[in-house]
Amino acid sequence: MRNVTADNITEVFAAYFGPDTDPRLRQVLLALARHLHDFAREVRLTHAEWRKGLEFLEWAGRITGPERNEFVLLSDVLGLSSLVDMMHSVPGATSSSVLGPFHVSNPPPLPIGGDLKGAWEGEVVLVQGLVRDMQGNPIPGATLDIWQTAPNGMYSSQDPEQDIHSFHALMTADETGRYAFTTVRPVPYTVPDDGPVGEILRAAGRHPWRPSHLHMIVAAPGFRTLVTEIFPEDDPYLDEDTVFGVRADLIMRYQPQPAGSFPAEGFALSGKVDGPWSRVDFDLVLAPEGVEEAQAAAAG
Ligand code: BEZ
Ligand code: FE
């Protein structure tokens, strides 16, 4: 086509696809181009702004490596990661939420009742609950990959003072679907803001803070793997998570418990907690594998 114009360029783009293009790829690329073209027309994008955008992407590429992915962070702060999560959530199952960059592979196994707190200062928090299906049946043997910040606000991979497995654990739910461990409260922290994404946040007058949270990946055969986080109801950043990860069903409560009431057995810290402590009860509900496909088929 010789007569490409600002008005017909999207149709010309569509006409350039080869006949054997995968239909889904065609649909996605075409919609992407349509929205990009509309976006450029809507804001009347200038050469200088377009160049700045490309320089931004180039900077994000330079800073990205095995330890840091600036493109994922960009998707997070633009709300795209959370939008994709929410579009595929299953009503009745626990919501998913961003994975973030601080998960480590091969977390050490932790028995039920085990402890993540170690020698760190802070009130003991006992976290416990059931892993169950959408009908309320327990899922024995479900695995929970758990991680959080240390009280100094850093994940192990950010902090040379911590062992890489500090505040990371893999727990297997018992025959009743129960999990339980002790820890300290995670704390709010900022997403990495020393790169191009940080520059966008500052330019937009946004802060880089996330509310404190506990990450979990919960998996069991026959169920959709759940990547999620749970957030305390009293966190100051609960309503302004810079990566939009908070959902109503992911909010938990620290329930204060009096001194002397810590369970006498069943926990690595049994017999070692004299002062007050807190309890968090949180059940995790998994959706069956293939549930979305089944819903789509039923909807015709
Ligand atoms: C996190 O929760 O660890 C996280 C999530 C998204 C971006 C950065 C950090
Ligand atoms: Fe996190």
Residue 66 has pLDDT above 90, yes or no: no
Rounded mean pLDDT, 111-131: 97
Cβ of residue 243 lying under 6 Å from some atom of ligand 1: yes
Q: What is the pLDDT of residues 127-148, one digit of tens each?
A: 999 999 999 999 999 999 999 9
Task: Tell whether ligand 1 has an atom less than 6 A from the beta carbon of residue 74.
Answer: no
Structure confidence at residue 291 as a pLDDT band (50, 70, 90): confident
Q: Whose CA is nearest to atom 1 of ligand 1?
A: 100
> For the segment 143-186, what is each residue's pLDDT rounded down to a tens digit?
999 999 999 999 999 989 989 999 999 999 999 999 999 999 99
Cβ 263 under 6 angstroms from ligand 1: no
Q: What pLDDT, on the 0 to 100 scale, is given for residue 24?
A: 97
The pLDDT assigned to 260 comes to 96
Cα–Cα distance, 203 to 159 (Å, whole number): 28
**Residue 300 scores a pLDDT above 80:** no
pLDDT at 109 over 90: yes
pLDDT recorded at residue 87: 94
The per-residue pLDDT for 111 is 98
Cβ of 77 closer than 6 Å to ligand 1, yes or no, is no
- Nearest residue by C-alpha to atom 3 in ligand 1: 100
**Structure pTM?**
0.93
Is the pLDDT assigned to residue 47 strictly greater than 80? yes
Question: Does 297 have pLDDT greater than 80?
Answer: no
| C-alpha 209 to ligand 1 mean position (Å) | 10
Q: Rounded mean pLDDT of 44-65?
A: 97
Q: Is the pLDDT of residue 296 over 80?
A: no
Share of the chain above pLDDT 90, in %: 94
In the chain, % of residues over pLDDT 70: 99
Average of per-residue pLDDT across 6-14 = 96
Overall average pLDDT of the 253-278 stretch:
97
- For the chain, which residues make up each domain, given as ranges? 9-77, 94-289
- Given this model, what pLDDT does residue 219 score? 98
pLDDT (average), residues 235-248 = 98
Q: Does domain 94-289 have CATH number 3.40.1360.10?
A: no
- Ligand 1 centroid vs 191 CA: distance in angstroms? 6
At 108 the pLDDT is: 96
Quick one: average pLDDT of 226-241? Answer: 97
Q: How much is the pLDDT for 189?
A: 94
